[in-house]
Amino acid sequence: MYFGKEVTRKAETGAFADIVTTLNDKSEYLDLYEDYETRMSLEARLVKAADVIDLLVQVLALEKAGARGLDEFWEIAEHPDFQLTGPAKEITNQLVLSLLDARRGLLQISRQ
């Protein structure tokens, strides 16, 4: 009732609706939000990929600073599927791989 993906999605959607409720063009923002959530457009998929890459950069920085127990954030990096094709897929996959390589190097240094 209080946990799970669907509950989280409903809460986030409700919160976003509350935020844009006073705007004149709120329906446009709600449409963009729904597009992002469903990943229907290329732009939405690119933004999601950028969000994940940004998160991984931040997690890597935290781990470099000594934080531990952040393995769950790296699970998406093991098999990323941003539903991209062509150069967008190549670039995002290369970015994720380079972050994974940087993390592996960091883990090796910390084990020594």
Task: State the pTM of this model.
Answer: 0.82
Question: Is the domain of 56 the same as that of 111?
Answer: yes
Question: Is the domain of 25 the same as that of 65?
Answer: no
**109 is in which domain, residue-wise?**
42-112
Q: What is the pLDDT of residues 50-84, one digit of tens each?
A: 999 999 999 999 999 999 999 999 998 988 889 99
Distance (Å, whole) CA 27 – CA 56: 32
| pLDDT (mean) for 36-58 | 96
Chain-centre distance of CA 35, in angstroms?
15
Question: Is the domain of 24 the same as that of 54?
Answer: no
Residue pointed to by tokens 């963009």: 32
pLDDT reading at 3 higher than 90: no
- Specify the amino acid at residue 44: A
Angle at which helix 42-64 crosses helix 26-38, to 10 degrees, equals 70
Distance (Å, whole) CA 60 – CA 72: 12
**Higher confidence at residue 94 or residue 111?**
94
Name the strand (E) or helix (H) holding 19: helix 5-20
Question: Is the domain of 95 the same as that of 53?
Answer: yes
